[in-house]
Structure 1
Amino acid sequence: MTDNNLILVCPFCSTTNRVPRARLGDGPSCGKCKKKLLSSHPLELNGAQLDALMKKDELPLLVDFWAAWCGPCQQMAPSFKSAAALAGPGVRFAKLDTEAYPQQAAQHQIRSLPTLALFINGKEIARRMGVMSEQQILGWIKTHV
């Protein structure tokens, strides 16, 4: 983090962007591809996108490691989506399909689904396994960010 600016990685083109912290709620766009840098919906990430966000992005990143065959993952998906809409622009919400990207699942030692992992500056600071409600997700984030 530099001054009152944050470095945000565009989830679409992986360009790094400098955004004033005070302007996060204004819907900043990428300087290169012009797409929105932040979303009120969870980002569906591939392995390369997760790696780019982990290495350079300065916002806390909450990742839902899931799989399509996982009943509890499907059960939690609406709560995760609602929590993303309510959390505001200070935390990125993302989903990574562990079946499609097993290398990232192994790298992060995902052993149970669903698993939520919270990262700040590329370092995991908290992890929780199992289904959580929208309010549980939001409360859990507040205890760590």
Structure 2
Amino acid sequence: MRAVVQTVSEASVTVGGEVVGEIRDGLLVLLGVTHTDDEAVAAKMARKIWDLRIIDGEKSASDLGAPVLVVSQFTLYGDARKGRRPTWTAAAPGPVAEPLVNAVVTALREHGAVVETGRFGADMYVASVNVGPRTVLLEL
């Protein structure tokens, strides 16, 4: 599982002109799932995101009760080492990935996070204003 985590002053996800998720002063998480991921990896990723000390003053979202916007992102497993066209074979297919993205969201909520989401499989437009900028790649 891979996640790109950014500190944001604001972030939103729009699908078909409708805002489906938005936060202020929190974390934007782009989340990718691969074939070998499972519920245990999802739980570990949620804990890592929630406790990651990436916010001003080495604070975490858990320290501040900061909201989290989770957006599924299979392209985090794109491989463009050969040629000019990426391959997506390392990304888990939707029926495998969607429940694991949902498991991360559920685990974050169980830790006390206020979580907004995109819409799995939709053509999403993600807008954000990065703070810092602080962007970290997590890989489990």
TM-score (norm 1): 0.30
Larger strand percent: 2
Larger helix percent: 1
Indicate the structure whose relative CO is greater, using CA pairs within 8 Å and at least 6 residues apart: 2
